[in-house]
Amino acid sequence: MGNWLPYNRDLVALYGADVAIFFSELCSLSEQYKAAEHDNWFYASAEKLIEKTGLSERKVEGAISTLCRADLIMIDKRPPFNRRHFRIVQNAADFKAAISIDAQTPAATKKTAPRAKQTAIS
């Protein structure tokens, strides 16, 4: 697929573009590394994730945290070197449920960009 990376618009609306881009890259890496042959777990270094997504280390770690809380990915430290491995939640129903649960979360608890103050024109 080259340098192109599709993303999910629902994830952008709920969590922002960084999380959606990161999740898309994880899905791509899962297929690339044939995670299904390894109980759906795969390894990707932080450096590789930063390089592939163009996100900073802080944004990558934030995206990982967000996706874990949303139950869209799982993380486990696995042998042989006790490295962080990822697993994408494979069940589409789980994905839809995670999206719908977060869609019901009050807007005040979501991270959104502040709105510009509007002033009345006299």
Q: What is this structure's pTM?
A: 0.71
Q: How many CB atoms lie within 10 A of CB 88?
A: 20
Residue 62: give the domain boundaries: 9-103
What is the average pLDDT score of the chain? 78
Give CA 68 to chain center in angstroms.
8
> Do the domain assignments include residue 36?
yes
> Do the domain assignments include residue 2?
no
CATH number, domain with residue 69? 1.10.10.10
Q: Each residue of 77-93: pLDDT tens digit?
A: 888 788 999 999 876 55
Tokens of 35: 């995670």
Name residue, tokens 């996100």: 55
> Do the domain assignments include residue 114?
no
> Do the domain assignments include residue 120?
no
